[in-house]
Amino acid sequence: LINNVSAAEAFLATYNAEASQVSNRYAEASWTYNTNITEYNQEIMLKERLAADKFSQEAAWNASGYNLTVMDATMRRQFVKIMDIGTAAQTNETKLIHLGQIESEMETIYSTAKACLAPEKCLPLDPDLTRIFTTSRDYDQLIAAWKGWRDATGPKLKNLYTEFVTLSNEAVRNLGHADLGAYWRSRYDTPEFEADVQALFDQLRPLYEHLHAHARRRLKTIYGKDKFPSSGHIPAHLLGNMWAQQWSSLVDEFVPYKGKPSLDVTPEMVHQNYTAEKIFHTADNFFQSLGMIPMPEPFWNKSMLKKPTDGRDVVCHASAWDFSNGIDFRIKQCTDITQQHLETAHHEMGHIEYYLQYKDQPLVFQKGANPGFHEAVGDVIALSVQTPEHMKSIGLLHSVSNDTETDINFLMSMALQKIAFLPFGFLIDQWRWRVFSGDTKPEQYNEHWWNLRCRYQGVSAPVERSASDFDPGAKFHIPANTPYIRYFVSFVIQFQFHKALCDKSGYIGPLHRCDIYNSTEAGTALSEMLKLGSSKPWTDEMQNLTGQAKMDAQPLMDYFKPLLEYLRKENGNDYGWDPICPDLTPTSSG
Ligand SMILES: O=C(CCC(O)(O)[C@H](Cc1ccccc1)NC(=O)c1ccccc1)N[C@@H](Cc1c[nH]c2ccccc12)C(=O)O
Ligand SMILES: [Zn+2]
């Protein structure tokens, strides 16, 4: 083993220069494919992916020749991360190439899928099917969109996914991980991560159960009681979203006090001729008000902020890109002029702000402190932006009153985005971790998926499902192989961050009315955390910003306390659902 520290430093300097180049090349090829899906672009992207995987293998091998015990903590941390190369650890080149092909094939199937509501009427997810879920209250039209999308994705993906699991597990076992799920969880450092997440979910369930009861009651008045199974589940296609993961589209139907002015600013955005650019400039302006780093020139020249109109296929699911050269950072989003896309723009720009803040770190530290941190940045800003006061200050809301009813209505609108999401954010990787560990066999994929959907989310399939369906494949992150527990973590810690930043800004009052706009104290505190990237354990960074070193649902519970009191009163004992799915056979559903 090489014991020479200066040799180790030289190795790191070379690694950073070379790895940045390799990352840049792969990002460019990946971007070209994502913004123009063709076989040729897919082939180029896969060539660059193989080159990047081989570079990682070589770097990990070379790094393993250095004696870590003679290094300081920061240098050792870099070497450990250089050797942690994930599925690139597959030494059989044929299998390595095959894994890449399967992953890009799954992403292509999902991103080019269209749901056929009628023989010649086949619609893509963005914007068409998404708009149907946002605007339609037609029970049968929603079923057609819901079923059509799953027919267009699941069956084509199921076998590919089975192969993907086998190849990925085999690859990460070379690094000593039990399976891909174990490798993903290892990014949170703490060994009790799984238990912590389960505990947080259990703590938050009452909030969700009461919101679910309120939604079910209101939906029964819209669609009629006979459309709801006696088990207490809500049919999954009635919650204003393809996956029932956020219910904000139903805010006008769900607000407790309907007489008040609508909190949905989408009509006002359309009325003011908002464009995608204006949406992103609004987000950029907020970061600048905090004294944080503005979007650099290449961001505005090279991003894809709208779905192309020249007919080419693109990956529409939003994402933020780091080209590892300190200046080129982009967002790809098929922006629609809606409030939800205004929030997503802040979410994506939060990723870019993180990239900008940690760009001078060694390459292996150019990551979130943990994946949940990366997902939380933009959402924290969006918590301030969405307050009625802030919406009024940017001219999207006109009358804002401070009475209790408006407060409860506002908390309901936020709960439809944040509380509604919690079981979904929790269950996706509960399902995937068991698939990777082998507990869930391919012929059980769909059954286990619906067991979790019925048990944790309290939603049921509106039409019969079978083992040839693969409904997990209808959600981007499964075919795109993107971990999901990061969003559950984010939805908890973003309220811890929000509380800490509100305190630093000198704000006094209820957390749900706090707007940190123009607070450079808050901006400085946030920037200091983001600059660290993954150079320190996330528990240290959490401690520095919030004063405690663990995930804590209390700030989230405090934020929604007035709403929970209202819901408990309204619901009495009329809340909850059977843990098992309702029987869908036609005779019993009446
Ligand atoms: O998927 C996203 C946003 C997309 C993303 O920004 O998280 C994107 C997903 C992605 C990952 C990997 C490849 C391609 C897409 N993640 C990133 O762009 C990203 C950037 C830096 C580090 C890690 C991920 N949101 C989730 C849920 C969600 C969390 N917060 C929200 C706020 C508003 C709306 C949705 C959400 C969803 O739509 O189900
Ligand atoms: Zn994200």
Residues with CB under 5 A from ligand 2 (ion): 375
Between the CA of 223 and the centroid of ligand 2 the distance, in Å, is 34
- Alpha-carbon gap, residue 539 to 500, rounded angstroms: 15
Give residue 353 CA to ligand 1 midpoint distance, Å. Answer: 14
Our answer to whether residue 477 is catalytic in this structure is: yes
Three-state SS at 460? strand
List all residues 6 or more positions away from 98 whose beta carbon is below 8 Å from its beta carbon: 163, 167
Q: Which ligand is nearest to the CA of 420?
A: 1
Catalytic residue among 48, 103, 343, 348: 348
Strands 319-322 and 329-332: antiparallel
Distance, in Å, from the CA atom of 402 to the CA atom of 334, rounded to the nearest integer, reads: 35
The CA 165 to ligand 2 mean position distance, Å, reads 23
pLDDT of 586 reads: 56
Cis bond before residue 127 (omega within 30° of 0)? yes
pTM for the complete prediction? 0.98
| 344 Cα–ligand 1 center, Å | 8
Ligand 1 binding residues, C-beta < 6 A: 317-320, 343-344, 347-348, 351, 374-375, 379, 480, 482, 487
DSSP 468-516: T--GGGGSTTTTTT---HHHHHHHHHHHHHHHHHHHHTT--S-GGG---
pLDDT tens digit at each of 590 positions of the chain: 999 999 999 999 999 999 999 999 999 999 999 999 999 999 999 999 999 999 999 999 999 999 999 999 999 999 999 999 999 999 999 999 999 999 999 999 999 999 999 989 999 999 999 999 999 999 999 999 999 999 999 999 999 999 999 999 999 999 999 999 999 999 999 889 999 999 999 999 999 999 999 999 999 999 999 999 999 999 999 999 999 999 999 999 999 999 999 999 999 999 999 999 999 999 999 999 999 999 999 999 999 999 999 999 999 999 999 999 999 999 999 999 999 999 999 999 999 999 999 999 999 999 999 999 999 999 999 999 999 999 999 999 998 888 999 999 999 999 999 999 999 999 999 999 999 999 999 999 999 999 999 999 999 999 999 989 999 999 999 999 999 999 999 999 999 999 999 999 999 999 999 999 999 999 999 999 999 999 999 999 999 999 999 999 999 999 999 999 999 999 999 999 999 999 976 554 43
Q: Determine how many CB atoms are found less than 10 A away from the CB of residue 401.
A: 11
Q: Which ligand is nearest to the CA of 345?
A: 1
pLDDT confidence of residue 75:
98
Nearest ligand atom owner, CA of 331 = 1
Give the ligand 1 atom nearest the CA of 375: 7
Burial class (CB in 10 A: 0-12, 13-18, 19+), 557: middle
What sections of 72-192 are H helices per DSSP? 73-83, 93-112, 130-135, 139-173, 180-186
- C-alpha angle 54/17/57, rounded to 5°? 20
Smallest Cα–Cα separation from 287: which of 503, 532, 527, 491?
527
Residue 589: what pLDDT? 46
pLDDT at 590: 38
pLDDT of 402: 87
β-bridge mates for residue 424, sequence order: none
Distance between CA atoms of residues 323 and 330, nearest Å: 8
Terminal CA-to-CA distance of the chain, rounded, Å? 73
Catalytic residue status for 348: yes
Q: Whose CA is nearest to atom 3 of ligand 1?
A: 318
The tokens describing 466, both together, are 């079978």
Whether the complex's predicted ipTM surpasses the cut of 0.90: yes
Side chain identity, residue 182 = A
